[in-house]
Amino acid sequence: MKNLIITNLEIYKSIAEDSYAEMVALVQAGRTPKPDGSEGWILHYDPMQNSFKKAMVSIVFTGMWFEALMHILIVKKFGEEKFKEFDFKSYEEKITLLGVTDSAFLSSLVRFRKTRKELVHEKSHFHNSEIKAAQEEAENAKAIRNFILVQFNHELG
């Protein structure tokens, strides 16, 4: 018999996925083809920055989902003491402990970790002059969720 685990894991994933879908719909609604038929789009101003907000929600809740999932999987596979050892380690160290070594994915995860940290702990006086589009970062977060769901499908069932 499996031990009962009370977790918000699926709620976090659902919020991340719903916000991502809403962001995509807002981005699509905010552009129209050029009237002369030439390549490209006319982008419409969104004074409330709704697609940006949805992208941020998707990124933050992907991070919450990832952290909760790493906790569950590491404890299940290695025990609570090992998780305590890895609790404050990077996303990459946690996922590598679980056997994921795909370098492209690990690079995406580094990018995600840094972006999430910058969003959650904004330090506007110390920004690094790198401009990121939250919508593109939400795409990266979605790719990370998809990769992890495929990798650990057998353990999440």
pLDDT of 140 higher than 90: yes
Where is mean pLDDT largest: 90-99, 111-120, 121-130, 145-154? 90-99
Which residue reads 């506007």 in tokens? 124
What is the model's pTM?
0.88
**Whether residue 1 has pLDDT greater than 50:** no
Residue of 1 and 45 predicted with greater confidence: 45
95-120, pLDDT tens digit by residue?
999 999 999 999 999 999 999 998 88
Q: In this model, does residue 135 exceed pLDDT 60?
A: yes
Has residue 127 got a pLDDT over 70? Answer: no
According to the model, what pLDDT value does residue 124 have? 60
